[in-house]
Amino acid sequence: DAGVIQSPRHEVTEMGQEVTLRCKPISGHDYLFWYRQTMMRGLELLIYFNNNVPIDDSGMPEDRFSAKMPNASFSTLKIQPSEPRDSAVYFCASTAGLPDSPLHFGNGTRLTVT
């Protein structure tokens, strides 16, 4: 299995621009998570889906952030408009089930907003 695939690996954009991050989970995994990691705040859960349905989006910082999962093999996280404080590494992870199956993480997207 190729694992969780995220794209792009790096994204540099200017403040105010729209940013779209993409994730392909492991086939057969019913749960998909979006995390953000920064030095200051550590690892933060943004949102997670079960069977393509958003279950908990309480971690989404503002209305500027939105996430979709149109099918079992694809999810996007969009930031519009982006701000410098959104600079972070964004991780996607998937798992076959909660609570006892481990998460499989992608290698992340490093976002820099100037």
- Contacting residues toward another protein, per CB under 8 A: 4, 42-43, 45, 91, 93, 98-100, 102-108
Compute the least distance from the CB of residue 6 to another protein, in Å. 8
Nearer to another protein, 4 or 19 (CB): 4
Nearer to another protein, 64 or 110 (CB): 110
Dist CA 32 CA 50 (whole Å) = 7
Compute the least distance from the CB of residue 101 to another protein, in Å. 9
DSSP letters, 19-48, are EEEEEEPPTT--EEEEEEEETTTEEEEEEE
Structure tokens at 66: 């939105």
Compute the least distance from the CB of residue 109 to another protein, in Å. 11
Dist CA 23 CA 73 (whole Å) = 8
Nearer to another protein, 78 or 110 (CB): 110
Nearer to another protein, 22 or 64 (CB): 22
Compute the least distance from the CB of residue 71 to another protein, in Å. 22
